[in-house]
Structure 1
Amino acid sequence: SAATSAVVPQSGRQPYVPPACPNRVPTIAGIEHIEPAVVYGLLKERKCLLVDLRGDDRAAGLIEGAVHVKAIDTVPFVVKVPDLVQQWSEQNLVIFTCQYSAHRAPQC
């Protein structure tokens, strides 16, 4: 896709292999995974909006330039979607991430 070809990881670099996570949630059909190095480049060049879905696990480290919207909250994420779509309507590419992109991000 155009998003994944916009930034190419450094040559000789091994492709990202996600960690083995129990109970991995399948990604919604039609949604693609983007290598972290590509996301980093897109974010650095302001060609995407990165949405950090983590809750308390954000203590592991903040992602500079990311927007924080908890996927698991008192308000279900699906209820937040209409407002978020309106807020981010000018964005060409919105990327969702969580701790391992194994449970929250694939469903958002």
Structure 2
Amino acid sequence: MRNRPTALGYVDLDVSTSPAWDRAQVQRLARHLGYLVVWPDVTSILPLFDQVRAADVDAVVIPGPDHLGPLELNRVMNVADVETVLPRLSFARWSIGAGR
């Protein structure tokens, strides 16, 4: 991880009706939470989970829960927190030692 908390901003272009607005809202929330925002390469064919892991970020900020499917959310939560703009939700990453 970096010296400053970092978040990957992610907007699913297949879901978004206004990508520029969603991107601005993600940027605003991430800044409010104290994250430096990095964006994934839109031409990448890697799944989001692999991009999150490669970027080594603390969180993923998305416009809404419909931008990640349940299985994708589960995978991302293995390596990062997930924050949504609307509704305002936080999903903490899974604890390695949970249930022990």
TM-score, normalized by the shorter chain, greater than 0.5 = no
TM-score bin (small chain): 0.3 to 0.5
Q: Which has the higher strand share?
A: 2
Give the greater-gyration-radius structure (CA): 1
Query: Quick one: higher RCO (CA 8 Å, sep 6+), 1 or 2?
Result: 1
TM-score, normalization: structure 1?
A: 0.34
TM-score, normalization: structure 2?
A: 0.36
